[in-house]
Amino acid sequence: MNKTDNARARALLILEEWQGQATSLDLLVEKALRRPFTDHRDNQLCRALAYGVVRRLGYLDALLARYSNHPLRKMKPLTRQALRIGLYQLLFMDRVPASAAINETVKLLKERGQPRWLTGFVNGLLRRLDRERAALPRQDQTGGRDFAPYELLSHPRWLYDRWLGRYGADRTASLCQANNREAGLCLRTAGISRDEFIDRLAAAGIRGEKGVFSPQAVLLPDFRSAVPDLPGYGEGFFQVQDEAAQLAAGILGPSLAGGRYLDGCAGLGGKTCLLAERLAKDASLLAVEPDRRRYELLGANLARMDLAGKVATLRGALEDLGPENDQGFRGILVDAPCSGLGVIRRHPDIRWNRQPADLARYRSQQLALLNQAARLLAPAGIVVYLTCSTEPEENEQVVEEFLAGRPDFRVEDCRAYLPEPAAELVDGQGFFHTLPDQGLDGFFGARLVKGR
């Protein structure tokens, strides 16, 4: 292996590219590890550094800005990212000795041809932070010592302020702290009972726990290996899916009978598979996805779950469905593109890649999708509108605006279509709402029925 190609060096390259382009961190990590390291621990370290730095970015930068005699904003991207990697290891990776965290960071810069004065500066700053570690503010604090709450909680100020106004200081801190904890792996069982699947996991030395809200959910709090290594992967006995997503897709109904159904924004097919499993013999399901990569993965996931024969797929968009479908769909799932601010704990870069203006842009797309779905719906049909956003502009306000233009639709309470433990996740308006500090991804769901 080239001496400059190690887990830390590759993580540094990922972070440089991410900071420069605001590209999806998931895609950058996936691309960087297409050529995996021989030792799987190096793959894990590379991932841990890339995701960990982005997750704690606001906190790391606040510390670096206070303790450095050179403004952070004036540093070269390479220097900033190297400092972040070094400081993250010092503060959040207990198994990495402080000397290794500092020396390996300096080594990264030397191997990139950086001058001696700069490597000396980085070495000195990290050593100072290590010496004064006991005096550093904790991430669970809410301010003080010239550190703002949003810095300590590692969220952009605009988002923190939004939540502060809506939820108050304590709940906002709770939400931010939940986002800063890596979300555990959650599976939805299929074709096997949950108890039997947990027994299979136990036989393989893997601890599985029952989910709280969904009867098919299994939590794997300790699992850190590749998902295909889990027992039952090849047989299609599970798919990766958060409890909130399992529940949200289920709002369309516990059984889909007597007609045609449409998954209008199928994505990778997680919710498509759940709908297909609930499909009665006298019903059909069409899954639509415009993106080529996602469409290919949709087909692969349906095949792995042995559902390809039950679902027709179309690479296209809702607007591509024309008059030939004039008989209408009995039920349509619209899992709309959104800001993703409800899934920050799984995709930590989302908080830094979004701006307030994005909400209006997404809202416009979401409303258009709802109106397109309404055009395709049969009389007395149902549209289930979903987002993985926490923000009212993409959720309640989209539904309100849709209903204002379509008085032939009404909101139906989601509670009747959820398992009993999930009833508490429905608000007074009948909308399904989850938030990260409940141990769930942040989701919104509305069941809209055509006809009064």
Q: Which residues have a catalytic role annotated?
A: 388
DSSP letters along 98-110, please?
HHHHHHHHHHHHH
Task: Give 108-162 as a DSSP string.
Answer: HHHHTT--HHHHHHHHHHHHHHHHTGGGSPPTT---BTTB-HHHHTT--HHHHHH
Q: How many residues does the chain have?
A: 452
70-84 burial, b at 16+ Cβ within 10 Å, e below that, comes to eebeebeebbbbbbb
CB 60 within 8 A of CB 87: yes
Cα 153-156-161 angle, rounded to 5 deg:
85
Consecutive H or E run containing 335: strand 329-335
The terminus-to-terminus CA distance of the chain in angstroms comes to 68
- Residue 444 in contact with residue 392, Cβ under 8 Å? no
Nearest by Cα to 251 from 393, 408, 434: 434
Q: In terms of Cα–Cα distance, which of 237, 319, 236, 333 is closest to 285?
A: 333
